[in-house]
Amino acid sequence: MKNLNSLLAGIFLAVAFPFGVLVISSQVQLGSLGPAPAEEGGPLFPSREPGLAIQGRAVYVSLGCVSCHTQQVRPAGQGSDIARGYGVRASVARDYVLQKPVLLGERRIGPDLANYGARAKDVGSVHAAIQHDGQFDFLYTGAKQEVATERAIALAAYLQSLRQDYSSPEAKLKQ
Amino acid sequence: MIWLLAASVLGVIAALQQGSLAGGPFRDCEILTYGHIAAAQHNLFVYGWGFNAFFALNLWLLSQLGRFELRNGWLATLGGAVWNLALTYGVIQIFAGNQTGFGLLEFPREVGPVLAVAFLLAGFWPIVAFARRPTGHTFASQWFVVAASFAFPLTYLLAQLLILWQPASGVVQAIAHSWFVSNLLLLWFGASALAAVYYFLPKVLGRTISGYYLAPVAFWSFILFAGWTGPAALIGAPVPLWLQSVGVVAGAMLIIPVIITAINFHGTLSAEGGWSRAWNDTTLRFVSFGAVAFTLFGVLNTVFGFRGYNAVVRFTSFAAGQEQLLTYSFASMVLFGATYFVLPRLTGSRWPSAKLVHVHFWATALGAVASIVALLVGGWENGKQLADASVSFQQVAKAGSTWNTVLCVSAVLLLVGHVAFALNAFGMILKSSAPASAGRHD
């Protein structure tokens, strides 16, 4: 403790060792995940996002939507996520491999959006939800804020692209 | 040490902004949408107040303990200036809609390297002070400060790299992020504030820490377990189960340093009327408040790491309440107490108004308690309702509105306290004729 070098070495290990085990080894474990078919020859999931949805994610990040909305469904037995209709199965790591950045979120001031695209009825309802009773009217123009701006259109496309209702090798849906 | 003054001033401004920003929601205004305000307020509080103030306090502490005189003060001042410029730029960018989506790393990625360099200029001096100390003997405060000053830049650089510059694949970003946040909160805020408590309690009371022989165990167990606690914030998330378990176990092990610091702090305060003496001393009143808050934080952290409880409070305001307990009720209250001790010795003058000190204490203490009760109890109730799928989300939100009112009141109380503190501090700085650069006094 009197020796600076051994003190610093101890502190360095206390930072580097958890980093190696927690972060690097999970990169090793999960880093090679990619879209995969649930069964031999099936379609690949998660599927590539449309370009408009990628622009929409930028809007989502820019407005800080992640402060109030999560995008993760917990397994049955931990909370009521599945019972509440946030998803048909728990989220798995593979669902997020194409997302940059990954927006898991930490607070649910608003509902979870991991499967928003699967439960939204039509584009109109998505825009109504984005407006949040007038809080986000700045994304719309027109006399009654009924015309969506480019950003709102991209955001809606992004929200509609959010879905984890497919089977994947880790999480097969019951037929 | 002009730097301390600059830091306090900027810190107070940041704290003020924090109080005022937490106010009511502005409708239909893009710049002030909640996603912007929440991020800006969080970053201003952490990087504006928490870092500036601890830069100054950590340096002051190790200068005192190591009989060190900072000769290249301009380097630290330069670092501070760069830090605050980068911070200002980052906050403006958040309001302009340029943020990354990762809590406490929201600043656009070009800010990261600048902050890291500024940290090395401004925040590394405590280690130099430790290396150059004339005596072989060391004290608990010194270990904790050295740990904070060394662990943070390392953590920050690695996190920047893997989250913003060369993003890891998929959820590994979230794992790296949880590791970063736990290190920031525990190894910067926690370790720095613990160092201050270890210094001020015996200093002001004029007695030794009880059970001091346990302090090295507290230090090493704290350093050892803190870095592993991150994934506890990812329970139920789509990350490997073994990671979540490691986080939970580390969180539970953190009870060891919490118990030892409790023995050290509360034992010292309990002997020979220590509590009443602490209550009558401005510095110790704040510091003891912080010491109690840390113990409470440690216990809650352990209990609510367990899966059953965690499943209830997950995604509610509970985590924000725990963070508030650590960064405000513990770290900030200790910082306030330290300022009451340090600033008069640096400026060579007295605090202008005793009334403002009382306003500061009561407003911040009540505000802190109110906000924590609202976040923790409100979060628990909220979580209980969310766990019942038959209660709709709208109903849950409505039920929480009482707690939101309490939160608004507490934000106003905190603002009042910070204004009182700022008036007093500015008054003293303006009044003092002695040049602030006089360096160490007593």
ipTM reported for the complex, 2 dp: 0.95
Q: What is the pLDDT of residue B290?
A: 96
Substitution target in B127, B169, B403 with the highest count of A β-carbons within 10 Å is B169
CATH hierarchy code of domain B2-438: 1.20.210.10
Q: Do A27 and B102 touch (CB under 8 A)?
A: no
pLDDT above 90: percentage of residues in chain B:
57
pTM: 0.93
Q: Do B227 and A19 touch (CB under 8 A)?
A: yes
Which residues does residue B71 pair with via DSSP β-bridges, in sequence order? none
Q: Do A12 and B150 touch (CB under 8 A)?
A: yes
A97: which 2 tokens?
A: 């491999």
> What is the arithmetic mean of pLDDT over A16-35?
93
Instruction: Determine contact: B175 vs chain A, CB below 8 A.
Output: yes
Chain A residues with CB inside 8 Å of B306's CB?
none
Q: Do A31 and B393 touch (CB under 8 A)?
A: no
Distance CA B279, CA A23 (A): 45
Helix axes A4-18, B215-226, angle to 10 degrees: 30
Instruction: Determine contact: B321 vs chain A, CB below 8 A.
Output: no
Q: Do A14 and B224 touch (CB under 8 A)?
A: yes
CB B56 within 8 A of CB B432: no
Q: Do B28 and A29 touch (CB under 8 A)?
A: no
Q: What is the pLDDT of residue B181?
A: 97
Taking 50 as the threshold, does the pLDDT of residue A125 lie above it?
Answer: yes
- pLDDT tier at A1, thresholds 50, 70, 90: low
Distance CA B214, CA B368 (A): 30
Q: What are the pLDDT tens digits along chain B (442 aa)?
A: 344 444 444 444 444 444 443 333 344 466 777 788 788 888 888 888 889 889 889 988 988 888 887 777 788 888 888 998 898 899 899 989 999 999 999 999 999 999 999 999 988 889 998 998 887 789 999 999 999 999 999 999 999 999 999 999 889 999 999 999 999 999 999 999 999 999 999 999 999 999 999 999 999 999 999 999 999 999 999 999 999 999 999 999 999 999 999 999 999 999 888 899 999 999 999 999 999 999 999 999 999 988 889 999 999 989 999 999 999 999 999 999 998 998 888 778 888 899 999 999 999 999 999 989 999 999 999 999 999 988 988 888 888 878 887 887 888 888 888 888 888 887 887 776 444 443 333 3
Q: What is the pLDDT of residue B29?
A: 60
Substitution target in B21, B29, B30, B34 with the highest count of A β-carbons within 10 Å is B34
Q: What is the pLDDT of residue B27?
A: 45
pLDDT digit string, tens, across residues A52-63: 999 999 999 999
- Closest by Cβ to B39, choosing from A64, A95, A134: A64
Degrees, nearest 5: CA angle B179-B185-B190: 130
Q: Do A78 and B240 touch (CB under 8 A)?
A: no
- pLDDT tier at A175, thresholds 50, 70, 90: low
Backbone angles phi, psi at A173, to 5 degrees: -80, 145
- Tell which residue, B368, B229, B240, has the closest CA to residue B304: B229
Domain boundaries, chain B: 2-438
From residue B440, give the alpha-carbon distance in Å to each of A61, B66, B343, B435: 47, 12, 11, 12
